[in-house]
Amino acid sequence: MSLLSHVDEKGSAVMVDVTEKDVTYRMARAGGLIHMNGSALKAVSEGSAAKGDVLAAARIAGIMAAKKTSDLIPLCHPLQLTKVSIDLEVCPDRGYIRCECEVRLMGKTGAEMEALTGVSVALLTIYDMCKALDKAMVISDISLKEKDGGRSGHFIPDPVPEHKDHIEIIKEEKQIKTEKGDLNENKEEPDKKGIQIGW
C-alpha cells in the first residue's frame, strides 16, 4: 500500500476519495516574502508604480487564485471556500513585502493548497507589477503557517528561519563578482618570448 494518498496500489496518480468523510470546519494559513530594492518598495508603499496599486492588485489576484486552485493543481478537490483573505505588509527595514493568505470553509478536505496558491499568485502579481523597478526580486519562504480542522486537528509547523534580506543577497553577489574580477586581473600573462607564428 502506498504511503502517498494520491497514488494507488498500482502506482497511478488518483484523486483521493473523500465521499465518506465528515464535513467539518477547515482553516489553512500560508505565507511568503518577496524581496526587492528600496526604490521598488517605496513605489509600492506610495502607490506610484507605473502599473497602479500593487497591493490592491495582488490582494485580488491571490483571492481569485485560491478559488481556482483545483483548476491549477490536477488532483485537488474543488472546494466551496467561505473565506479567503490576503494580508500584505511592506517591510522597508527588511527589504521585502510579507504576504499571508488565510482560507476557511466547511468541507471534507483541507485547504492548504488553496492558501499556498493564494500566497504564490499574490507574490507573482507583485513581481509582475514591479519588475521594471527591480529586475533582481526574489520570492522566498512560501510555506504553510497553520492549519485546523479534519482528522489531524490543529497544526502549526516548526518555524523556519527566513532567508537573508534582499540587500544582503545583492551585497554578497556583488562581492563574489568583485572577487572573481580581481582573480582575473591578477592572472599572469603567458610568456610569449620565443613563440613563432607561421603563416
Contact between residue 117 and residue 69 where contact means Cβ atoms under 8 Å apart: yes
pLDDT at 19 (0 to 100): 82
Helix (H, G, I), strand (E, B) or coil at 139: strand
158 is written with which cell numbers? 516548526
What is the predicted pLDDT for the residue at 167? 54
Fold of the 24-157 domain: Alpha-Beta Plaits (3.30.70)
pLDDT at 18: 86
Q: Is 128 a catalytic residue?
A: yes
Q: Which of 53, 87, 128, 134 is catalytic?
A: 128
First to last CA, the chain: 74
Averaged pLDDT in 10-residue chunks for the chain of 199 residues: 55 76 94 96 95 96 97 93 98 96 96 97 98 96 94 85 57 63 58 46
Report pLDDT for 10. 61
Helix, strand, coil percent values for the chain (each to nearest 5): 35, 25, 45
In order, the DSSP letters of 86-106 are: EEEEEETTTTEEEEEEEEEEE
Question: Domain residue spans in the chain?
Answer: 24-157
Q: How many alpha carbons fall within 13 Å on the CB side of residue 81?
A: 26
pTM score, two decimals? Answer: 0.77
